[in-house]
Structure formats: structure tokens, C-alpha cells
Structure 1
Amino acid sequence: MINKFTATVLFVAFTGFAFGQASHHKKNKTTDLTQYVDPYIGTGFHGHVFVGANVPFGAVQLGPTNLSKGWDWCSGYHISDSTIVGFQHTHLSGTGIGDLGDISFMPTTGPIKTIKGTLADPGNGYFSLFSRKDEIVKPGYYSVKLKRYHIGVKLTATKRAGFHQYTFPQSDQSHIVIDLEEGVADIPTETFIKLVNKTTIEGYRFSRGWAHDQRIYFTAVLSKPIAHFAVYDTTALQQGIMLKGQKVKGVISFATKNGEKVLIKVGLSPVSSANALLNINSEIPGWDFNKVAADAHNTWNKELQKIEIKADSLSQLKKFYTALYHTMIAPSVFNDVNGEYWGTDKKVHNDHSFANLTTFSLWDTYRAANPLYTIIQPERVNDIVNTMLAIYKQQGRLPVWHLMANETNTMVGNSAVPVIVDAYLKGFKGFDATLAYEAVKNTQMQDMRGLKYVKALGYIPADSTVESVAMGLEYSINDWCIAQMALKMGNNADYDYFSKRGQNYRNYFDKQTGFMRGKLSATEWRTPFSPFVSRHMKDDFTEGNAWQYTWLVPQDVEGLIALQGGDQPFIQKLDSLFIAKGDLGSEASPDISGLIGQYAHGNEPSHHIAYLYTYAGQPWKTAEKVRYIMDNFYTTKPDGVIGNEDVGQMSAWYVLSSVGIYEVNPANGTFVFGSPAINRATIRLPKGKQFHIVVKNNSTRHIYIGAISLNGKPYTHDFIRYSDLMNGGALTIYMTDKPGNFGTLPADRPHSVF
């Protein structure tokens, strides 16, 4: 009986269109790691993950959208739902706000319907039920049977185009409804559709939602000639073969034989329908659906192979590779094959020097996803930074939460700053460092979003804006990062200035209560005060409370320890976090999930906290907490993500923690050791280098690090530098079942500044 599962040994030989036989990783053969990806993980609870066909970081996220609306349908899909209103070409993954769902295609038969309908009156619309047993979801591929119409649907995608294959029954009334009114959670402002010829449709959808001015163009090319094309304004049939309006629909009609396959290639573009067609011709020149699906599968497999692990169970492999998969859905390509893209300044730009991107959930991803990219996606890091610098030039500041060439200003702080500084300090050269420094500095020197108070007072008065403490703490992180970049560039005056601002977190610390707290003036705290209460979008914290935000000082943990009175008081307070019980209040954010005491793993400000024990000389407590979180808050069930996936951040925490490391400080290149869940990992690096992690004597009981060797030599530090990791080599970690002395000496603990 096999009791060890390994991605380098076990494999499933998938046959058919997309999943060529997998094999051992020998003699140029590759292991099929996509078999361990379960896209249903995160579709339950509040995970909000995307389900459908895409390629890593692609512009197209082609998948089904349910009839239901609401918070749990931010991605358009939830495991509790069995309805489909269409197959839409853009979706978000893991966000706490819904948007996108552009360019909806729905195959039907029978009398034409041009609205989706309702559960109370299903016959009035075109939506269909489906059974999950008729649904197949794999990286790069989606299929389902529409029960109402007995139509089989298969979907795959390239970077900028979706590929549909519909298998129709025999019918004289077969249709494809193109509904430009429909989206996940936005409102169309202007839509247009036009029959170009017997096999080509083009149009656009402009909408207003979370992103206030969204514009997406499309061209659709069919394998079967269109017998009849009709245009509708909502439900009213209009004359002609083109229509502009707010809620335009187009209906393609023809007769089909039983089992007849109709293929549709749909290109997207942020610029024009002509570019959308160019994207199709460049990425899907032929009509071989199986080949495109196989290419999508192989692309996913290649990306997943950047970290190849050995683990004790199949469930660990599924958790790991599904998490890794989720880190590569966004940021998404937002340009055309000719280099054109739509800018924040509402102009068309053409720049072949980088891949312009969108969907920057930076308040979330700067903590783990972006540091992960510096290891396994270094070629994309320059694109991320260059996109941010382009946005800076177009809107006058770095992005906060950018979506489809729109600044949403969602969440607090300027979290592009640590991403850029981290890339610069890690030695990335593919962007203009002078411009990058100008961008981070000028962004932090503006007056908006509380910064005028930071400059004048060193804190943001609690009665001047909501979420003042959360915002101020994030700004302190941003300022500290800029100081380090200034120092590296030899700008000592700026280093002194931003170093001082990086200490502003101290202004929110109330020594009497031992918590970060809203401040009304230099001498007055906001009252009443409870460290437990959280009033969503109405108080001093963002989706959290004082218990969680008191630890948001990853840039200066030593300073935070000193504020708490030294190592032992700090540890006692940290221990209390994980056992404290109290009422969050009726208005608490639903994002506060995954609770251990008041630690909330379902929300990002808590993500570094378990690793703070190591800074105070008790790494075994980090090991206990990290292992508990990995075992209990990440599962293989649909509710297996304990909070919003947040565009890869929740999963990036798991990927890094599984291999035993986490970058607590967002910009000093130091990864702190925790408690690796895997037995072996091979991280494939640029220029053919590899970094091997071997974990000896690992088990559910042996969760503590007893000793480490690096490249065969004893290694006593409880952290590893990014530069050592990227040089390649071998790290051997010896686990024990009891806490020991490894990494406890002050010289071996991680530090904020080296």
C-alpha cells in the first residue's frame, strides 16, 4: 500500500483532447501537476474564486455565471448554485466586491428569450439549470451540460481570446444569445453589437461598477454561418444588423443537427474590435479546439512545475497546487498583441517594452503574493512594476486597487510602494529606478487620503477620516520602505525623513491599554474604546479591530517589541491574541474569519502575525500556529479557503508557509522560517538554477525545526535571505517533536534592518 504521495512519482494519465499522458520527471518528460488542482476549492463559504477556463495571468477568464447575485457571487459563481445565465469572458477571483462578467454568451434552443429570467418565472428567460455531475473544471478547461437545452458546452482560452464549443441537439431553433446587458455586479452604460459578415460579430460593452468606467471590445468568429441575426433593446426587437444602446442583445440563429458542434472564437481588447480580431488571429489562427485546450493545459503545467513538492498525502498536494494555481489568475494581461492598451488617462497607449496588466489587489497581495512572484515569476515582476509606473504617469500617483484602467481607491495605504521597493532592493533591473523612486516618493508626499495629516502631525486624527489607524499604520510601512530605497540610492536626506515617518506607528500605540488606537489629538484618544469591537467601514480599523491591528508593524518588529516592554511582555501579549474572546459587534466585517482567539486568518492584516514569535526568540510558537493554520484553515473542500481568496494572497500565504518560509517584512528580502508542511520541494529559478528544500523527520508531531543546513553546512539563522535562495542550492531542515534552541539567539533571529 502506498502511503506517500509525491508530485514527482504519482501521476494520472489523462487521455483525450487536453491532458496528454503524464509521466515521471525524467528524460525531458514532465509530471502532470494539473491533476492536483481542484478549482472547486474556494467556491464555497466566502472564497469567491473564479471557476472557468483561463491561462496564467490571462486577460480572459471565461466561465459560467450563476443567476444569483450577492456577496458570495463576487466572482459570478458559488458552489451552492445550480443555475447558469451565460458564459462570460471576464471574472474576478477572490475579491470582496463583485465586478466584470463582460460579454455574455448563452446557447439556447426554442423560442428566443433575451432576458435571463428569474427562479420564480424561469420560462420568461433563457437561464438553465445544470448538474455538477455534468460539470468538468480543470486548469484551462471547463465543460458542462445545459439541462434545459441539452446543449454540451466546452470552454478553453488563450491570453486574449476565449474558445467555445457548443454541441447542439437537432433543432430548427438553435440560438446563441449575446447579452451585453449582463455582468456580475455592474451596470452597462453603452453597448454596441454589429453583424460584420456571415461568421463574424463585433461590439463593445462599456459599464459602471466598482470600476467606474470600464470599456471592453470584442470580436466573435463562428465556425458555422449565421442563418439569421437579430438585435434587441432589452426585449424589443429592432430593425437592422447593428444596434447601440444601454442594454443591447444580439441573437444568432440557425438550424442544427443532433450532435452538431458549433465553435466560436471570441477575442477581447481594451482598445478596439479590430484589435480583438487581431488577438484571435494571433492566438487562435485555426479551429482545433483540442489543441488550444491542450496548450492551455500545458501552459498551466509549466507554471505549476516551478515548485515541485513531495508530501505525505494527496490532500496536501491538492491544497498546495490549487493554492499555487490561485496565485496565477491575476494580475491579468490588459493589452493587445500589438502592444496597445487603454490607460488610466483614457487614452490609447502603445508600448511593447512591457506587458500592461490590471487587477491589482495590492493591499492584499503585497504581503505574500508579490514576494512569491519575485521567486517563481521574476519575469513578470518587471511587468508589474512597469505597469504601476505607467499608471503613475497617467494618474499622477501609484495605483491603490486598480481595475480595468480605473482607480477604485479601495483599501487603505499605498501598497504599490512596498511592491516596487521590494523589487528594487532585490535587484530587479527591468524598470527605470529613477522613475520608480520618483513615483513612490511623490505618491507618499501627496495630501489625499489622510497623507496631509501624516506630514503635518505624524498621525491621522480619528475624526478626520474613517479607518484612520489602519491607514496610518500602512503609511508607516510605506514610508519605511521608501527610506530603504533612498538609502540604497544614496539619498541620505530622504532616508532620514522617511525613516522618521516610518516610526509614526508609535503615535497610534496607547501604552495604557497596550493597543493601537484611534487618536483625536496629540493628547486625546478616541473613546469609548474596546479592542474587540469592529464596525465595518465606520471605525478606526479596516475589516478588523485593535487586537489584530496592534501587530501591523512588519517593518519594525523590534520597535513594536520595545513598545510592548520587551520580549517577554511582547510574547505574553501575542499569546493573548490567540486566546482572547470577545464580541466583535453586530456591525463587524464578514471578512473577519478564520479566528483563533482574535487572530483572523481570513483577513490579510493578520497574515504575518504568527511569524512574530520568532523575532522574540520563540520560533516554536510560530511553528505551532503556522502548522495549525495550514492544517485547519486550508482544506480540499469547496469551503477550503477560510476567507476571500483576495486575488491570490490567501493562497500565496499557504504556498510559502508550506515550504517553510514567509517574508514578514515586505521589503527587506528576508524570509522567516516557520514549519514546513512538505517533505521536499524543488523551486525552479531563472537560468536553470534550482533551490531544493529537504525536510527530514517531518510529521504531524514533528512540527518544530531542530536544525538546518544550507549547502551542506550548519545554518543557525531562523531566516533565509532572498539572495541566498535565488543563488540556488540545498536547504535541509531537520524536524523534531519538541521545541529546541534553534534560532533563539538574538544574532540568529530575523531583523528588520541588516
Structure 2
Amino acid sequence: MKKQICLAGVLAVLAFNSFGQAPKKKVTTKAASFTKYVDPYIGTGFHGHVFVGANVPFGAVQLGPTNLSEGWDWCSGYHISDSTIVGFQHTHLSGTGIGDLGDISFMPTTGPIKTYKGGLKSMESGYVSLFSHKDEVVKPGYYKVKLKRYDIGVELTASTRVGMHKYTFPASKNAHIIIDLQEGIGWDKAKETYIKQEDQYTITGYRFSKGWADDQRIYFTAVFSKPIKNFAVYDSTAKAGTQVKGTKVKGVISFETTKGEVVYAKVGISPVSSANALLNIKAEIPGWDFNKVVAQADQAWNAQLGKISIKADSLSQLKKFYTAFYHSMIAPSIFNDVNGDYWGTDKKVHKNVGFNNVTTFSLWDTYRSNNPLSTIIHPEHTNDMINSMLAIYQQQGSLPVWHLMANETNCMVGYSAVPVVADALLKGYDGFDHNLAYEAMKTTAMEDARGIKYVKKYGFIPADSSRESVSMGLEYAIDDWCLAQVAKKMGKTADYEYFSKRGQYYKNYYDPKAGFMRGRLSQTEWRTPYSPFISIHETGDFTEGNGWEYTFLVPQDVEGMIKMLGGEEKFNIKLDSLFIAEGDMGKFKSPDVSGLIGQYAHGNEPGHPMTYYYDYSGQPWKTAEKVRYVLDYFYTDKTDGIIGNEDVGQMSAWYVLSALGFYPVNPANGLYVFGSPVINEATLKLQGNKTFHIVVKNNGPKNIYINSMSLNGVNHTKTYFAHKDLMKGGEMVITMGDKPGKVWGVGETNKAVSVAK
């Protein structure tokens, strides 16, 4: 990926709602105009995997184009390098490492009917069309493109559960809309599909498929503005009648059009029934005013993006920040109907549950930044997420690992729902049952599956018993530490002591002779041969990384890690080496590992807290240097402007928090550690009509070091502050300089801590 310009400022005002160059003239965001700074193209190049299309914050519908090409860089269905479109599908993932969804594909065409999408070498055999990015308009809640092959203009918008299409046709006696229920994205393959014409305006059906999620079920109802002249159904070949069930079902609507004639379609989706999908349409988009729906989607995004009001040095900086903020709010997405019905993990319909059920929990990624960010700016959405996780626990017997569309994928290591639930509970969220939450966390941590039985028995996972044993064990130690803090808060002393002990099991993977974490076979034997530079994804001891990076995966107990690595001086030398060591990581074949600074890989999540560790070891200026470098060079306003896979908002959430100037190194201790803010000013609008105002003085490309700071008028020299103090409201004033301050952050009492005294 090209290393592109710097980031010098961007930032944040957050509010309660449900859900080098010399500085130029400062730019301030104004009310109701935040969406104009969002560029959804950012992350569509390189390995960003971001969704492109129309949606609203956390919406069930992600309505956008899907390219003909397939592969890892098309996990979202779209890549900037492509110029083909096979349809406009109503569900997409954003920033995942596996392709899935792509449900209910619509494709307007003219001419002879074709029901096969076509191939890269035989486009004419199918209905695929070329397009030009010059003909695209992409912004939050709206998408526009011209299908070159058919001279059809396509515009898309969406509400939470409904996608709205606007097709501008040429004059044609053979105009069509193909509804393809066979096609999906990536691993997704149709298992059972059904389509039926209900009347001259309405089509219903469903798509059951198997992909990353084993048993996906999406129902739909489509209502058209123009009467259907002819409707034909196919399952590989043409079938008689107006309905068909099969695995390759297509429905083709046909009519005549005049030049410039507009045909609208409203498509409601539901996890429960076509009747509910129609109910969603009636509730969310009852009329045919397309522009009104576009405006409402824009308003929905502005309501969320408007939680952040900022002053920055350039439009480019605003663009980077607000796009990152936008990407952090695509998921977890709504997975229920307007009446509250949803399809559970137990394969039952649940009603009247009292919360919005959500899905797409990329927890191994998001517990590090995106979920903590939500505890600041999305209180009601945070409660919905926790309640959804607790419902999943009640239905499947454990908290979710990587949950998608009522399915447990068990993807990635750890039980990363634990730090998310723990963080919300410890921060005082009370919109869920605390006793049930504790039960769910403890039950999950005491299972025997996924190597946990070895943790309980030996204190480590033998390398020959489980793949990625070291990464898994280190994640469990983080999770167990978080659970211990909840036990302490709830007065469960024995549990606190037990899980605190398990939170220290990271030490059992450290080989003092090698000086690194490594695979352990027994109390006396390590896996050999061994090199800290080598990582073998899937079959080795580490998950998308190596011994160098995973030696530092101890965000729950940085002080203990410092002691384990030989004390502060040796730790700082070792941490310095992480950022300069050259070896096989750079040659690692997996594209998950990107954004390298030595052996540090910012393009993958385990490294995200590590630039902040110097605040714990007495050298906060080094944190400032590393954080500012990442902010300036690994995030840009270009299409390849995300240095790695977006991972459902995690990469972007790291940017949002770090641009503010602080970061939750420990995922559940309620503390934020300072780095190097790139904003000039920010106002965080908080629950209860409170505000937290941040003023950054003397900031600039060279002035990257915090020299002094005050919190509510009182000198603040510590390298951290508390979530509870942030949420009280107030003002923080930070003064920057081109050299480290002689007072701020210096000395034993100012070091960041894992547990506030």
C-alpha cells in the first residue's frame, strides 16, 4: 500500500443518542453537515473490505452493488479496482476477512432475458454490466451509478429494514428486473430459495443459505411502483406458474418502458417472514418519495456523526475522521423487525423482548476499540448489544464468539464477548440484567471447548492440542482478568481470586530463555524449532501474527508484563525492538498482517494497544511518536486509506479514539491512556446534557508531544484519565510542543496503570 500524507487533526464531539505541512485555515463542522465529510470510497482499495452502498447507522439493510470478481479483497462484494456489477444486494458485510451475505439481488436489464450472471471471460453470456466510477455517487444513505450495458440509471437509498431502488430506464419493449436468489458473496451458497408473485405490484420470497454462517434465513417483500406486465420464474431453467422453490431460483419482472421512465421498488427484509418484511415497508417507507427517504437517511447519519463536532486544519482531516466514524457504525446491525420479532440462535422466533436484537459481532476485533467507543457515544446501542449477547447465551449456552445472522461461527480465538460485557457493566450500564451477565461470562469461561479445559487443568493450552494455542491462551487471560474485575465489583471474592489467577496465565506462555511467548507442550517442554519471526496462520501457535507481536499481548497487566520481561529498562529496549526488528513477518503470506513498523502490524488487531505501552514504562514521548506516525501515515483520505482489513469498524474506531488523544489499552478497566491528539478542538456531548470539551493548543505536524494538560482547571500530569471523569463532563486543555515536556507524564506517579488506585 502506498504510504500517503499525514493526518493532522480531526476530531470529536460525542453525544448521547441511541445509537508535514503548516496548518491551514481551521475548518469547523457545522450542524447537519457532517455527512459531506464522509467518503465511503476510503477503504475500498488495498485490503479495506468496506461496504459501499446505501444504509443507515446499524441498519439491517446494506443495499449496494456487488462486483462480478471474487476473492479476499471482495469480502464486502465491492473493490475499487473493479468495473463490473452483477446486482444490487440487500445485505453486505463491511471489513471482514471472510465473504458472506449478498442476499436478495436485484438487477435491472433490457433486451433478451438472461438469468446467469456471466463470467469475467464471458460477460455477454450473462446479465453482468460494466460501469464507471465516474458515474458513481457514493455518500451515506445514497448510491448512484449508470449501468453501461443497459443505459439504466440506478439510485439506491435505505431505511433500517427497507431498501429503496430507483431505476431510470431507456425506451425498451423488453425492460426487466431480475431478482436473483441464488447469488451470494464469498462463501455464501443458497440452500433453499423461494419466490412468488402476490399481485401485479408485489413479489415475496425467501433465501436460506449456508456460508460463514451455517444457516442464514432472509425473507423479503418487494413492492413496485409500476404494474408487472409479465413475471417468469426459473430454477436453472424456466418454470411454469408465478412461484417456484429451489436452490437456484430467479424471478424476472418484465414490462415496457419509455425513455427516462422511472421505476421504483421498495424491498423490505426480515429474519422472520415475508409478512413482517411488508410490515417493515409500511412502517419505514410507506410512500414513494425517494428523495424524502434519501434525506431521512442523511438525517439519521448526521444525528450520529453529529455526536462529534470538531475543529481541524483541513478538509482532508475532516474527511478521514468522519469516514472512520461512519465505518464504526455500520455494525453490529439490527436483526429484528419493527414489531420486535427476531430469529434466534435456537431457531425460534422471539417476540416482545424489550430491546433491539443485533447481529454481526466481530468481537475479537471490536472489543479493543469499537465497543469501548460505543460506551461513550452509543449508550442505548451498547445496551442493545449486551442484551443481544445475553439472549444468545440463553439460546446457545455460551456468549457469542463471532456471531452472524443467528449463527455462531466460532471464528477467532478467545471469548471476547467477556471484556465487552464486563466493560459495560463496570462502567455502570444498567440496561441489562447484571446477574445474568455475570452468569453468562462465568459459564462461558468455565466451558471445556476451544482449549478451555486445558487452561483449567494446566494453566496453559498445550501446543499439540490446539492450533493457535498461544494466541488463544493470551486472549483467555485478557478475558479472565476482565471477568475477575466484575466478580470483585459484585462481591464474589472466591471468583475474583480464581479468575485473577487465570488472568496471570499469560506468563505460562513466556519462555525466559528465548525471551518470547511460544508454544508450550508441557511444564518442561517447548515446541521446537522456534523463531519469534515466523508465524504460520491456522496451523501454528499464533493467530495472524508471530512471537514478537504476541509477546506484548498483555494489555490487562502491562506492569506485570514489564516485570516478566526483566524490568522497565529491559522492557523499553524490547518494546523499541518490536518497532524496528526486521524478519519474516514482512514476508508473511497472509494479507491480514499489514501496516508494519518492524514487527508491529497495525493492520491487524492484536497490536492496537502496543503503541501506548510506553506510558506505563516512563517514556510517554515514545507513545506520542508511534501513535502520531500511525495516525499520519496508516490512515489517509485515499481509496487505500485503511492500512488493513477494516474488521467491522475496529480499524476506524482506533483512529477515532487516538485522534481524540486517548485510547483504552485495557479493555475493561475504565481508563484511557494518552497518546498524541491530532485535533485542535472537540466537544463531546454526553448523556444528561453534559459536554466534555477538549482544547489542544499549539498542535501541528512537529508538535506531537503533550507538554502540559489541565482537567477542569486543575493541572493533570498523569498519562491516563478515567471514563467516569470523562462522562461527568468538563474541559481538558492540552498544550503540545516539539519536544517532550519535562513535567507532564514524567515520574512514577504519572505512569499509566492497569488498576486505578
Query: Which TM-score tier does this pair reach, normalised by the shorter chain?
Result: over 0.9
**1:186-205 maps to which residues of 2 (within 5 A)?**
186-205=188-207
Distance in 1, Cα, partners of 2:672 & 2:10 = 25
Q: Find the aligned partners of 2:423 and 2:464 in 1 and give their Cα distance.
A: 33
CA distance in 2, matches of 1:7, 1:537: 38
Shift of 1:256: 0.5
- Give the equivalent residue in structure 1 for 2:610: 609
Match of 2:301 in 1: 300
Return the alpha-carbon distance in structure 1 between the equivalents of residues 56 and 368 of structure 2.
Answer: 24
Q: Where does 1:227-376 land on structure 2 (aligned, <5 Å)?
A: 227-234=229-236, 236-376=237-377
Shift of 1:100: 0.2
Q: 1:204 to 1:233 in 2, by over 3 A?
A: same
Distance 1:550 1:5 in 2: 32
Q: 1:7 deviation in Å?
A: 8.8
Q: Give the letter aligned to residue 479 of structure 1.
A: D
Note the C-alpha offset of 1:5: 9.4
What is the aligned counterpart of 2:218 among 206, 216, 219?
216
Please name the residue that 2:85 is paired with: 84
On the 8 A contact 1:176/1:252 being kept in 2, the answer is yes
Q: Which SS does the other structure have where 1:684 is aligned? A: strand
Tell me the equivalent position of 2:751.
Answer: 749
1:219-245 per-residue CA deviation (whole Å, 9 max, x = no partner) reads 0000000000000012x1100000000
Query: For 1:192 and 1:114, how far apart are their aligned partners in 2?
Result: 15
Q: 2:589 and 2:116 mapped to 1: Cα distance?
A: 37
SS at match of 2:49: coil
8 Å CA contact 2:169, 2:257 repeated in 1: yes
Q: Is the 8 A contact 1:83 1:127 kept in 2?
A: yes
- Give the match's secondary structure for 2:198: strand
In 2, the alpha carbon distance for the partners of 1:623 and 1:204 equals: 52
Scaled by the length of structure 2, the TM-score of the pair is 0.96
Alignment root-mean-square deviation, CA: 1.3
Amino acid at match of 2:220: F
- Cα deviation, 1:647-684, whole Å, max 9, x if unaligned, reads 00000000000010100000000000000011111111
Contact 1:418 1:478 in 2 (8 A): yes
The alpha-carbon distance between structure 1 residues 603 and 206, as it changes in their structure 2 partners (threshold 3 A), is same
Q: 2:373 and 2:699 mapped to 1: Cα distance?
A: 24
Aligned match of 1:18 = none
Check conservation: 2:309, 2:684, Cα contact below 8 A.
yes
Q: Which one scores higher on RCO, CA 8 angstroms, separation ≥ 6?
A: 2
Write the letter of the residue equivalent to 1:451: I
Deviation of 1:633 (Å): 0.4
Aligned to 2:399: 398
Please tell me whether the aligned partners of residues 179 and 249 of structure 1 are also in contact (alpha carbons under 8 angstroms). yes
Is 1:435 the counterpart of 2:436 in the alignment? Answer: yes
Deviations along 1:544-595, one digit per CA (max 9) or x if unpaired, are 0011101111000000000011111000000000000012386642211000
Give SS of 1:423's match: helix
Question: Which position in structure 1 is the counterpart of 2:5?
Answer: none
How much does 1:379 deviate? Answer: 1.4
Aligned-pair CA distance for 1:315: 1.3
1:540 alignment partner in structure 2: 541
Give 2:118's aligned amino acid. Answer: G
Counterpart position of 2:23:
none
Match of 1:507 in 2: 508
Q: Does 1:727 align with 2:719?
A: no
Residue 202 of structure 1 and its aligned partner are, at CA, apart by: 0.2
Distance 1:65 1:387 in 2: 29
Segment of structure 1 superposing worse, 593-602 or 682-691: 682-691
- What's the counterpart of residue 487 of structure 1? 488
Which residue of 2 is the match for residue 138 of structure 1?
139
Alpha-carbon distance in 2 for matches of 1:208, 1:427? 39
Q: Which residue of 1 aligns with 2:228?
A: 226
Query: 1:678-730: CA deviations, max 9, x gaps?
Result: 11111111121111110000001100000101112211111110001011111
Separation (CA, whole Å) in 1 of partners of 2:438 and 2:10: 44
State the SS of the aligned residue for 1:726.
helix
- Equivalences, count: 733
What is the CA-CA distance between 1:120 and the residue it aligns to? 1.5
**Bigger shift: 570-579 or 687-696?**
687-696
Q: CA deviation at 1:485?
A: 0.2
Q: 1:11 corresponds to which residue?
A: none
* AA partner of residue 638 (structure 2): K
Question: In structure 1, what is the Cα distance between the partners aligned to 2:367 and 2:693?
Answer: 25
1: distance between equivalents of 2:352 and 2:541?
41
Match of 1:206 in 2: 208
| Unmatched segments (≥5 aa) in structure 2 | 1-7, 13-26
Q: Which amino acid aligns with 1:200?
A: T
Question: 1:280 offset after TM fit, Å?
Answer: 0.4
Letter in 2 for 1:415: S
CA contact (8 A) 2:11 2:678 kept: no
Asked whether 1:74 is paired with 2:75, we answer yes
Measured after TM superposition, the shift of residue 538 of structure 1 is 1.1
Q: Which amino acid aligns with 1:189?
A: K
Q: Hey, what's the Cα distance between the residues in 1 that align with 2:331 and 2:53?
A: 14
User: How far apart, CA to CA, are the structure 1 residues paired with 2:466 and 2:123?
Assistant: 46
Q: TM-score with structure 1 length normalisation?
A: 0.96
Residues 103-122 of structure 1 mapped to structure 2, 5 A cutoff? 103-122=104-123
Which letter does structure 2 place at the counterpart of 1:751? V
Question: Contact 2:662–2:672 at 8 Å: present in 1 too?
Answer: yes
Tell me: CA distance 1:560–1:52, structure 2 relative to 1, closer, same or farther (3 Å). Answer: same
Q: Residue deviations 1:168-219, cap 9 Å, x none? A: 0000000000000011121100000000000000000000000010000000
- C-alpha distance in structure 1 between counterparts of 2:752 and 2:457, whole Å: 33
Which deviates the most, 361-370 or 577-586? 577-586
Contact 2:32 2:299 in 1 (8 A): no
Amino acid at match of 1:400: V
* AA at the equivalent of 1:227: K
SS of 2:287's equivalent? coil
User: What is residue 155 of structure 1 aligned with on the other side?
Assistant: 156
Contact 1:41 1:638 in 2 (8 A): yes
> 2:689, 2:661 → 1: CA distance?
23
Q: Which residue of 2 aligns with 1:16?
A: none
- How far did residue 6 of structure 1 move? 8.5
Quote how far apart the aligned CAs of 1:351 are.
2.9
- State the SS of the aligned residue for 2:47: coil
* Aligned-partner SS, 1:631: helix
Contact kept? 2:10, 2:321, Cα under 8 Å: no
Task: Summarize the alignment of residues 574-589 of structure 1 with structure 2, pairs less than 5 Å apart.
Answer: 574-584=575-585, 588-589=589-590
* Superposition deviation, residue 251 in structure 1: 0.2
Q: Equivalent pairs: percent with the same residue?
A: 69
Equivalent position SS for 1:197: coil
Q: Deviations over 1:367-399 (max 9, x none)?
A: 000000001111111100000000000000000
Report the Cα offset of residue 744 of structure 1.
2.1
- 2:60 is aligned with 1:59: yes
Residues 525 and 7 (structure 1 numbering): CA distance in 2 closer, same or farther, change over 3 Å?
Answer: closer
Contact 2:9 2:659 in 1 (8 A): no
1:629 aligns to 2:618 (yes or no) = no
2:57 is matched by which residue type in structure 1? P
Alignment partners' CA distance in 2, 1:352 and 1:572: 53
Contact 2:28–2:312 (Cα < 8 Å) also in 1:
no
- The one-character-per-residue Cα deviations of 1:124-175 (angstroms, maximum 9, x if unpaired) are 1000000111000000000000000000000000000000000000000000
- CA drift at 1:429: 0.3
Residue aligning to 2:572: 571
**Compared with structure 1, are the counterparts of its residues 694 and 388 closer, same or farther at alpha carbon in structure 2 (3 Å cutoff)?**
same
Partners of 1:536 and 1:588 within 8 A in 2: no
Letter in 2 for 1:196: E
**Does the CA-based 8 Å contact 1:24-1:30 persist in structure 2?**
no
The separation in 1 between residues aligned to 2:205 and 2:262, in whole angstroms, is 24
What amino acid does structure 2 have at the position aligned with 1:736?
G
List per-residue Cα deviations over 1:81-101 (Å, max 9, x = no partner): 000000000000000100000
Stretch deviating more after TM superposition (423-432 or 686-695): 686-695
Greater shift in the superposed pair: 282-291 or 31-40: 31-40
Matches within 5 A, 1:4-19: none
**Structure-1 residue corresponding to 2:21:** none
- Secondary structure of 1:94's partner? coil
**Cα shift readout 1:29-65 (whole Å, capped 9, x = no counterpart):** 8240111110000000100000000000000000000
Give the unaligned 5+ runs of structure 1.
9-22
Q: Structure 1 residues 133, 588: closer, same or farther in 2, change over 3 A?
A: closer
